[in-house]
Structure 1
Amino acid sequence: MNKLNQTRKDVISILLTVMTGVLIHTGMYQTAHADPASYVDPRIGNIAPFLVPTYPTYQQPNQMLRMYPIRKDYTFDQVQYFPLQVMWHRGKGILKMRVARGPVTAASWNRKMAYDHDLEVVHPWRFETYLIEDDITLGFAPGKKTAIYRYNFPRATQSHILIEGTGKMTAKLVEPHAVNITERITKKSRNPELAPVTMSVWCYAEVTDGQGRPAQGMNIIIDKNTLRIECGKKAPKTILLKYAISYVSQQQARKNFDAELSHQNFEELSVSGKAAWDGELNKIRVKGGTDAQKRSFYTALYRTHERMIDIAEDGQYYSGYDQSIHKTTRPFYVDDWVWDTYRAQHPLRTILAPQQAQDMLHSYVEMYKQSGWMPTFPQVFRNHACMNSYHSSVLFLDAYRKGLTDFDIEAAYEGVRKNVTQGSWIPWRQGSKATALDQRMKDLGFMPALHPGEEETEPLVDGFERRQSVAISLGRSFDTWVLSEWAKELGKKEDYVRFAAISDQYKRLWSEEYKMFMPKDDKGEWIDINPKSAGGRGYRDYYDENNGWTYAWHVPHAIDGLIELLGGKEQARKRLDQLFREPLGMSRMAFHVNGANSTGMVGQFSMGNEPSFHIPYLYNYCGAPWKTQQRTRFLLDVWFKDNLFGIPGDEDGGGMSAWVVFTAMGFYPVTAGEPVYALTSPVFTEVAMDVPGGQFKVLAPASSKVNKYIQKAELNGKPLNMPFITHDQIMAGGILTLDLGDKPNRSWGVK
């Protein structure tokens, strides 16, 4: 009778799980279950227009253990393998797991597993798929440092779970149903001055039946770099692979297992994962809008919690920044791409999770103390020298001005100052000391560019990434503005004066002829190029991933100065209009030869790349906020659909999703480091957030597809006649009321 009852429970559980996945996929689930988590669909954006797709990541919020199936892309109906752990964002994972039926051969270790897309169950806290040629149902539930794979095998058949190392793997049987696994991972750097680094990953795993008891009819076979779990014909139909990961030690992996999984099996872990996501997603509650808009919004909010990840384990952590174990009483966060995330993702966290934001900055400072450089793309193994500039500096200024100071302020300032004054500005060379080319840049006030066809003279410059001369010059202006502003806050007057002068040097590359920033050579002479297309792949000779039309607006610290260069507010408005209307000037095929990173195009505006994010909001600064309202609504409607194509470019682990979250709510941090948000038209009739002062609401009762123009605004019952709101006003709690209509109010917010 007990077996019969258990069978019924298993059948009901599977049916409910499949029904949930189908209903979410068809958009029907929200009718019965309107909690925020039910709107999240990790498949949104899984097909990329050109570059890397957005992976359906399964993890708990900001936690170390994460997984996604490794396949070429979503359109393929075969999975190469399922990793036990993904160590860094968009990585291919380690400890590759496959399943197989019948005898194991050499080919079994490279086999691909066919699946049915429509039978997938996809939630951040739970994944299930049906391997159609194997007749095996596979499930996955993530913990913090642990996870469980669940396998439903056909009865009376021989099946195998195959685990193979991606690096150098060793394994040891500790009990008939339990095994210790170690993998040594080596990571190289694109910076030739940085040697490869190697670190260990430890795993403790148990093989059990569906109730967590040691499974009978099983055999674990270890051979060199592989591990095979043989499930005989008498083995249970349902098998669990329960495991924990550690970057500290094998003993710590076992402790992580005991702490999380000693009393949890698959269903319990899935439920606790759902609760963790509820805790984060419920911080923002919306009403109105369409179900499609809610799916896009809450999926974007989920994406902003993919990174950074906490790798502290039981009061200690392994640091790749000095290859040592450190004691800690706080979380230790890694895995960030600051070039992408400083613009919106980190500012969003200062609202939703202020203490977590400070813990992340504390982690940055610790990484600086351990390595000697303030990281810009901190990974678990060390800083990943990537992209350009030193934008981690603005994370500290932004937090400091918002009253978030729970980190070593003097050490943080020392670290960002060292980056700016002693580090090389050559792209993808963070962690190297300044070169003769860097000194020449400092002398000129801009990075000198090479003429088309001119041979590179600096050995450290990467042959693909190039000099990115204009992008580097503007990035340096921004980073020195950050340093000058923070120096002013800290009473460091000499530094304030020094770096403020450098931050103004963006003007040296302003071309009156082109009305944009153009390259100059080592002699200070203009290099005449076509700013739509010049610079090779990604325009990297002069810009970076975006052309001159985008970089014409890339001085978020000097918006008033840019408007002045353009000839005033009216001319700035016209130039913004032209950006969104200017044709490519060539066929799409020709455009994307160099501009593959420029996606989500509207005229010359690229929604799919980070340097464009603030641009639609610049109308607020030049007397036409109604155009910001028009543009942002259009961009959300066109480029952020709730489907497989719903991300217009590289999502970058929360970087782009934070733009969606802010914009859908009706405000955006145009200049990170300034505790001010530019207003736009929210897509929802009500947005409510819990803040230290109680609750902050954005009310727009008339909001609809056509009612997107702000007629008037009130903050806490008092007229608001400017298209901006401060961070303090949000965090104090209150109500922002926006009266929306279907025609622009051209006079609101102008002064």
Structure 2
Amino acid sequence: MRLPGLSATLAAFPALALAAPRDDYTQYVSLFRGTTNGGNMFPGVTPEPFSVIKIGPDVQASPPTDAYSGYLPPPGRVLGFSMMHESGTGGAPKYGVVSQMPVTGDVTYPAADLSQARKLNDTATVGYYQSTLENGVAVSLSGTAHAGMLQHDFTEVASDVAKNVVVDIGHFLSSYRGRGWGQGFAGGNLTVRADGGYQGSGIYNGGWNIAPNWTIHFCGTWDQPVTRSKLFKGNETTHSAASNGTASTISTASGNAGAVFTFDATTVTSRIGVSFVSPEKACRYVDDEIPPGTALDNVVAQSRKKWNDKVLSKIRVESNSRDDLVQLYSNLYGMHLIPSNRTGEQPFTSTEPYYDDIFTYWDLFRCSTALMHIISPVAYVEQLRSLVEIWRKEGWMPDARSSNWSGEIQGGTNADNVLADAYVKGVQGVNWEDAYMAMRKDAETTPPNNRDPRAPDSSTTVGRGALPDWLKFGYITPKFSRAVSRGIEYAANDFGLAQVAKGLHCKADYKRYLKRSRNWRNYWSSKQTSLNYTGFLSPRLTNGSLKYPYDPLACGGCYWTDPYYEVTPWEYTFAAGHHDMAHVLSLSGGKDAFVAKLEQMFVPGATKQNSQFNGTIINPGNEPSFTTPYLFNYAGRQDLSVKYSRYIARTYYNSGIGGIPGNSDAGAMQTWQLWNMMGLYPMTGQNVFLIGSPWFSSMSLDLEGGKSLTIKSAGGDLTKGVFYVQSLKVNGKKWKQSWATWDDLFANGGTMEFKLGPKAVNWATGKLPPSPAS
């Protein structure tokens, strides 16, 4: 049965959306949001939050380009429908393994190009995806945590034309960037069982984290009889003996291999399990999660219920704007696609939770993990415990991880920041003594150099590769790549250690790491000027001198081998010292000078670096600029934090397919906008939330233990720019600070009551946000 398809943008079908139950928040999730404009979002089926299965199409464009999540918009050609993907990643594609491809007519050479153009635009809703191919076959997808369901509808295919499904174990997502980060196939095997089903294993390597060989096991079943099947290796085929009541197996060390299954039925349904452990466990996943006779629409309904119950119902708002609702719930969905919960499939013996596909804490530590704590607290604690257990078993915590392999380290060891943020907010269920030992390993032990061609000077898999300079000089010299940006992050990492050391009564360590957390100051060049402003972070040489002059509007390639990673010195000057903001203001010449310089970040045409953002110095599509719009709070100008953060949120985000400003980075962009909608922003590693201005007249967040935070506002009008805070009450009390703590808002729940107006007023006359390292 072919399920009715829904449009890529749900707003195009308001009647269908209105017909959904009132508490079905999936109606507001646009699966294709962020699939263009470099967002790299995965629009296929993610059956539940953090699911292992992410089933969707793998598409190739002409000329070839990297399809990071497998998907590319038309007119690309579909190569197959595979079981595993990631969402919002960069570098190079990962996974796209365990695939099926419906093919009509005689399949003489299975290793030939079997790709198909799409006859119609793909359609998707939560738990369901459909592609209609040029050969007339419609493929509908759904799934569960460890098993996928594919329904191949051959109704439109002529009765005298053969109906086949090709299974190719050599299928994976390719990379065309030429950087050596692509994936490879290192061999595998496939057995066609006597019952017509199949199982086997594939060995793959590479991807964005340059992983060595990893193995995926699979198990597939057919709900309709197989009329004939044949195995293939390269272009050689042989008839399977499965029809004679015996199994048949093929193995390969390279190249394509798999099987062609032919059917008389016009609708062919397949159920496939995947496992990192064994084919037998993959078969158990199929039997347990999608037993024989399960209807596709029941699997879809189960998926939608899980997303509603576990994530989407956690935030409820009052709004007449469907566009804003689509952004809100699409953001909630998008931040829960990865990491993948692989508990029970660890590469080591363990009874602890295990999460893989972390992309990456460099992207996530600023505001994503803090929101995960609030929306999905159980999974959040499991992820923290997984970090510590990986350290126990492998010696290091990951900053990024995929296919059971840690890497890549872009800056510091930002799992330290994530753990510190949880600790200062009183998170229970983590062995904090062990967690601190894992953090201390990062801070004191230089990891072995893996000789990554991107940056061969030091480790890019685990740890702080530039630690020798950090310990010797208190800064990182340019003999190490990303010297300045890594130094900024090492300082923040050390502040995280100081926070945990203080709580665990490790007084000597607390003093040591608090002192080290101030080392970002060693990059400050008081002579450096740009755009008539003075004082920027500059590289520092072995002899202690600053590399001056140095253009703060330029960062070379802004990549692995440069002093500044991803963004310019201007941006890093405001990304440094967030735990030391009083000193930042002092170096900047005081509040007024700081505010003037910070406003320059938002002036159009100030640089050629960010043309996609009207030439502003700030880059809303890159994480080092995430906190920047909120830093006005530290200078007593909360109104400017509202002005500029709201400008970014309403200018560069929307509900369309290009609705996030660049790569999602595993939901990082989505969480930034969610915080903006709430009217709050977290300062990672501190028990502090900076106050902005909420979008909705009423927002309720479900917290642990039946508690809630209710955020109300009166007098606001998003369409007319009426959003400046006039006054605020927190838990019924008049509030004069532009910040609040975890205890104020989230520990026991609470209320925030905003009055908004069209003009800025100086309502926040109380204490400035704390600056614990100053």
TM-score by length of 1: 0.87
For residue 571 of structure 2, the aligned residue among 545, 550, 556 is 550
Q: By how many angstroms is 1:501 displaced?
A: 1.2
User: Is 2:431 the partner of 1:408?
Assistant: yes
Q: Report the more deviating stretch, 511-520 or 302-311.
A: 511-520
Partner of 1:103: 106
Partner of 1:418: 441
User: Is 2:189 the partner of 1:161?
Assistant: no
Partner of 2:55: 67
| Matches of 1:352 and 1:686, distance apart in 2 | 17
| Matches of 1:421 and 1:388, distance apart in 2 | 16
For residue 180 of structure 1, the aligned residue among 187, 199, 203 is 199
| Matches of 1:601 and 1:218, distance apart in 2 | 60
Over 3 Å counting, the alpha-carbon distance change for 1:335 and 1:22 in structure 2 is: closer
For residue 599 of structure 2, the aligned residue among 577, 584, 587 is 577
Partner of 1:740: 756
**Superposition map of 1:385-396 within 5 A:** 385-396=408-419
Q: Report the more deviating stretch, 508-517 or 137-146.
A: 508-517
**Superposition map of 1:106-121 within 5 A:** 106=109, 109-116=112-119, 118=121, 120-121=122-123
1:98/1:109 contact within 8 Å kept: no
Over 3 Å counting, the alpha-carbon distance change for 1:715 and 1:29 in structure 2 is: farther
Partner of 2:40: 53
Deviation digits for residues 64-99 of structure 1, max 9, x if unmatched? 111332224324342232212237855241123322
Partner of 1:517: 537
Partner of 1:496: 510
Q: What amino acid is the match of 1:41?
A: S
| Matches of 1:189 and 1:650, distance apart in 2 | 14
**Superposition map of 1:27-46 within 5 A:** 29-33=16-20, 35-46=24-35
Over 3 Å counting, the alpha-carbon distance change for 1:335 and 1:372 in structure 2 is: same
Helix, strand or coil at the partner of 2:99: strand
For residue 479 of structure 1, the aligned residue among 482, 493, 512 is 493
| Matches of 2:482 and 2:710, distance apart in 1 | 42
2:94/2:208 contact within 8 Å kept: no
Partner of 2:333: 302
| Matches of 1:432 and 1:31, distance apart in 2 | 49
For residue 389 of structure 2, the aligned residue among 352, 366, 374 is 366
Partner of 1:212: none
| Matches of 2:261 and 2:169, distance apart in 1 | 18
| Matches of 2:393 and 2:406, distance apart in 1 | 11
For residue 296 of structure 2, the aligned residue among 266, 279, 286 is 266
Over 3 Å counting, the alpha-carbon distance change for 1:408 and 1:268 in structure 2 is: same
For residue 641 of structure 1, the aligned residue among 654, 663, 667 is 654
Unaligned segments of structure 2, at least 5 residues: 62-71, 171-184, 234-249, 251-255, 450-454, 530-534, 768-774
Q: By how many angstroms is 1:493 displaced?
A: 0.8
Partner of 2:306: 276
Q: By how many angstroms is 1:189 displaced?
A: 8.4
Over 3 Å counting, the alpha-carbon distance change for 1:681 and 1:481 in structure 2 is: same
User: Is 2:557 the partner of 1:536?
Assistant: yes
| Matches of 1:581 and 1:720, distance apart in 2 | 32
| Matches of 2:370 and 2:463, distance apart in 1 | 30
User: Is 2:278 the partner of 1:249?
Assistant: yes
1:180/1:203 contact within 8 Å kept: yes
| Matches of 2:202 and 2:540, distance apart in 1 | 49
Partner of 1:3: none
Partner of 2:398: 375
| Matches of 2:504 and 2:612, distance apart in 1 | 41
Partner of 2:643: 630
RMSD, aligned α-carbons: 2.5
| Matches of 1:637 and 1:189, distance apart in 2 | 31
Q: Percent identity?
A: 20
| Matches of 1:53 and 1:188, distance apart in 2 | 15
Q: Report the more deviating stretch, 555-564 or 303-312.
A: 555-564
Q: By how many angstroms is 1:186 displaced?
A: 2.8
Q: What amino acid is the match of 2:109?
A: A
**Superposition map of 1:140-159 within 5 A:** 140-153=141-154, 154=157, 156=159, 157-159=161-163
Q: What amino acid is the match of 1:562?
A: V
Over 3 Å counting, the alpha-carbon distance change for 1:22 and 1:516 in structure 2 is: closer
Q: By how many angstroms is 1:734 displaced?
A: 2.4
Q: What amino acid is the match of 1:40?
A: V
Helix, strand or coil at the partner of 1:711: strand
State the aligned residue count: 689
Q: What amino acid is the match of 1:735?
A: T
Partner of 2:175: none
| Matches of 2:607 and 2:591, distance apart in 1 | 27
Q: What amino acid is the match of 2:584?
A: L
| Matches of 1:687 and 1:244, distance apart in 2 | 39
Q: By how many angstroms is 1:183 displaced?
A: 1.0
Q: Report the more deviating stretch, 423-432 or 369-378.
A: 423-432
2:102/2:152 contact within 8 Å kept: no
User: Is 2:691 the partner of 1:654?
Assistant: no
Partner of 1:342: 365
Partner of 1:675: 687
Over 3 Å counting, the alpha-carbon distance change for 1:337 and 1:273 in structure 2 is: same
| Matches of 1:414 and 1:309, distance apart in 2 | 25
Q: By how many angstroms is 1:545 displaced?
A: 0.5
Over 3 Å counting, the alpha-carbon distance change for 1:366 and 1:327 in structure 2 is: closer
| Matches of 2:152 and 2:361, distance apart in 1 | 38
Q: By how many angstroms is 1:576 displaced?
A: 1.2
1:126/1:141 contact within 8 Å kept: yes
Partner of 1:127: 129
Over 3 Å counting, the alpha-carbon distance change for 1:230 and 1:693 in structure 2 is: closer
Partner of 2:590: 568
| Matches of 1:318 and 1:219, distance apart in 2 | 34
2:99/2:168 contact within 8 Å kept: yes
User: Is 2:217 the partner of 1:202?
Assistant: yes
Q: What amino acid is the match of 1:162?
A: V
Helix, strand or coil at the partner of 2:650: helix
Helix, strand or coil at the partner of 1:560: helix
Q: What amino acid is the match of 2:632?
A: Y
| Matches of 1:681 and 1:540, distance apart in 2 | 39
2:498/2:509 contact within 8 Å kept: yes
TM-score by length of 2: 0.84
Helix, strand or coil at the partner of 1:80: strand
| Matches of 1:406 and 1:601, distance apart in 2 | 46
Helix, strand or coil at the partner of 2:100: strand
In proportion to residue count, which structure has more helix? 1
Deviation digits for residues 172-222 of structure 1, max 9, x if unmatched? 12233311121122347878xxxx63232111110114xxxxx35454645
Over 3 Å counting, the alpha-carbon distance change for 1:109 and 1:344 in structure 2 is: farther
User: Is 2:81 the partner of 1:76?
Assistant: no
Helix, strand or coil at the partner of 2:443: helix
**Superposition map of 1:448-459 within 5 A:** 448-449=477-478
Unaligned segments of structure 1, at least 5 residues: 1-9, 210-214, 450-457, 462-466, 593-597
| Matches of 2:414 and 2:213, distance apart in 1 | 27
Deviation digits for residues 220-243 of structure 1, max 9, x if unmatched? 6455443334334xx221111111
Partner of 1:703: 716
| Matches of 1:336 and 1:373, distance apart in 2 | 17
| Matches of 1:29 and 1:674, distance apart in 2 | 44
1:146/1:243 contact within 8 Å kept: yes
User: Is 2:731 the partner of 1:716?
Assistant: yes
Q: By how many angstroms is 1:431 displaced?
A: 4.7
